[in-house]
Chains A and B, each alone.
Chain A
Amino acid sequence: MDQSLSSDLLPAADEVSFVGTLPEPAEPRSFLDRLFDRGLLIRTGVDGLYGRSGAFESVVEALDRLVSRIGAADGAEVLRFPPGMARASFERSGYLKGFPHLAGTVHSFCGNEADHARLLACLDADEDWTAKQAATDIVLTPAACYPLYPVAAARGRLPEGGLLFDLQSYCFRHEPSLEPTRMQLFRMREYVRMGTPEQVLAFRELWLTRGTTMMSDLGLPLAIDPANDPFFGRAGKMLANNQRAQALKFELNVPVNSEDKPTACLSFNYHQDHFGTTWGIAQADGTTAHTACVGFGLERITLALLRHHGLDLDAWPAEVRARLFG
């Protein structure tokens, strides 16, 4: 049953019982509501911004370890950055060309004492208090690999065999949604390969296979589909069409919210020389480096597991539990 789009994708009438103290809901409770009911996610008052329970985190951490095990033999260099990056790097990265609508900048109060008094008065009056908030040198990380490129570029030319990095970070995207799979702050695990076009494409092929095996071993129904990034506006339509026409991005989709619109849990991206050119990353022979990455949406995979195996982790199939927690 787990391999088909099981009844678990339908509103779960049989799970209403655990909210027994509440009145019978007029409509079937959504997957997000059930996650709240169960305490797996915790409301904050903002769509897409949630707390996580210990049980939820135990799955995220198990997935993180699983990805490490699968990639262990490759000897990737592990780097961890906080979920903010230098604004100067962010500006140079080109992110604002494609995704101005998703970016999150960190602003802080930069006024004097009189401004402080006005801020408090505005707060009291329920008026806009942000007049003296100014952009700091920090921008929220939009994808785990964004802080990496300037660091790699600063090291000089790549060695002959290229480089491989292992990253994980909370990432921010401003896209409030009631779909639990579209969080505004979420964790992305990545491997990033830099080198020749052949090296980075071979890396992407390898992870297409590994990622498919990993997810089907977790008992999840999946499909690999060509994809495009959510570029902004009409110009974005063109970028998206180009990305698809060149087969630069694939996603591993699992039905979580619905069968019609499955959720991208992994993505496999070939950037060509985009980041190499942007950051001046050179191969050993001096030509511009190509890059590729595989990204794992740790919360999304967790949610896919909860959707397909149920909200009680102890009741998950033994082989799935063994793979994650064994």
Chain B
Amino acid sequence: MVEISDIRDVLKSLESLKGVVDTLSDDDDLFEKGLDSFGSVQLMLALEERFDIEFPDSALGRRSFSTIRIIRDTVAGLRQQEAA
């Protein structure tokens, strides 16, 4: 099970968001809160390492990383697929 708090932990490792993570709601647009393109790449790599997953090409876009809730759902979906 992937918890929202796990996603927040990963976000705190990012230079562009670490100062504001605790003020974010689960549905805030991270790109509006300071996440940039290179930051989203770092986020993608950090999530892959933390959860031992690989994002498919179709998920490599801003949308998959736009809010904490969407990230949690995407990561949970990938974990389920890999377990199946």
Q: Which parts of B21-74 form the interface with A (CB within 8 Å)?
A: 37-38, 40-41, 44-45, 57, 60-63
In the assembled complex, the CB of B78 is this many whole angstroms from the nearest CB of chain A, namely 14
Cβ-defined contact, B44 with A242, below 8 A: no
Say if the beta carbon of A223 comes within 8 Å of chain B. no
Residues on A with C-beta less than 8 A from B60 are 234, 237-238, 241
Cβ-defined contact, B37 with A242, below 8 A: yes
Residues on B with C-beta less than 8 A from A135 are none
Contact residues on A (Cβ < 8 Å of other chain), bracket = 10 to 19
Residues on A with C-beta less than 8 A from B38 are 94, 97, 239
Residues on A with C-beta less than 8 A from B62 are 241-242, 245-246
Say if the beta carbon of A235 comes within 8 Å of chain B. yes
In the assembled complex, the CB of B46 is this many whole angstroms from the nearest CB of chain A, namely 12
Query: Quick one: which of A94, A234, A235, A238 contacts B61, CB cutoff 8 A?
Result: A238
Binary CB contact string for chain A from 179 to 210 against chain B (1 if under 8 A, 0 otherwise): 00000000000000000000000000000000
* Known contacts A97-B38, A242-B37; A235 and B57 CB within 8 A of each other: no
Residues on A with C-beta less than 8 A from B63 are 245
Q: Which parts of A67-119 form the interface with B (CB within 8 Å)?
A: 94, 97
A97 CA / B63 CA spacing, docked (Å): 21
Q: Which parts of A225-251 form the interface with B (CB within 8 Å)?
A: 234-235, 237-239, 241-243, 245-246
Residues on B with C-beta less than 8 A from A246 are 62
Residue on A nearest B38 in the bound complex, by CB: A97
Residue on B nearest A235 in the bound complex, by CB: B41
Residues on B with C-beta less than 8 A from A97 are 38
Q: Which parts of A25-60 form the interface with B (CB within 8 Å)?
A: none
Task: Give 24 A-B contacts (CB < 8 Å), ordered by A residue.
Answer: A94-B38, A97-B38, A235-B41, A235-B44, A235-B45, A237-B57, A237-B60, A238-B37, A238-B40, A238-B44, A238-B61, A239-B37, A239-B38, A239-B41, A241-B60, A241-B61, A241-B62, A242-B40, A242-B61, A242-B62, A243-B37, A245-B61, A245-B63, A246-B62
Given contacts A238-B61, A239-B41, A243-B37, 5 further A-B contacts (CB under 8 A): A234-B60, A235-B41, A237-B57, A238-B44, A241-B60
